[in-house]
Amino acid sequence: MHGPGRVTQLGGIIIDPTQLGVGEPDQTADVTITLYKAPLSDVILTLLSSDPYECRVSPDSVTLDSDNWHTGLTLTVSPEDEDIADGTQTCIITTSPAVSTDTYYSGIDPPDITVTVTDDDTPLALRAVLPAFGPASQDMATVLRGSGFTENTEITMRQRDENGDVTGNNQEASSMVSKTEHIRLWPFMER
């Protein structure tokens, strides 16, 4: 989305846009940085993602000079496809204060860029939690059937009473699963 985030500061560093959206796995967006007037010396800006697990910016540093100040430089903001079903996230591309020997631009801190990252991952969906009895030495297991399991999905189960409260005498079972449609936890609870 372009337009609503256009910002001009008194010092004259223009970021367009300052709000945008990207989507996993590879929907990117561009940002243009220009100057209000030609600088007397190079103007350097450094950019950094507030959450590199959600979004990234390239390049992460730009130099505006007397040749490119009015046409500007383009940055590309990309989502980080982390294979975690975490829903829509917000990531901020922070801009550092300008570094320049031109006192008109030196120290100006342009606006940061707010990025909305749309997730493409499916949340874990359990279809059934079934008791499965094994050999006497293993007492009881629980089989989970569902979808959305990804490598290293962690499942933690706790025994709850009829009100949904965790019972006081409870054993917690945890298991890491690899891409599969069902897992077994041994043992789920003491009998």
What pLDDT does 174 receive? Answer: 44
Look at strands 13-16 and 7-8 and give their pairing.
Answer: antiparallel
Decide: 26 and 78 in contact? Cβ < 8 Å.
Answer: yes
Q: Note the pLDDT tens digit of each residue in 150-170.
A: 555 555 555 555 665 555 444
Whole-number Cα distances in Å, 13 to 31, 77, 108, 151, 185: 13, 19, 8, 44, 57
Which CATH number is associated with domain 7-118? 2.60.40.10
Question: Taking the alpha carbons of 5, 10, 12, 13 in that order, is the dihedral positive or negative?
Answer: negative
Closest Cα to residue 155, out of 118, 119, 191, 180? 180
Q: What is the pLDDT of residues 21-76, one digit of tens each?
A: 999 999 999 999 999 999 999 999 999 999 999 999 999 999 999 999 999 999 99
* Boundaries of every domain in the chain: 7-118, 125-185
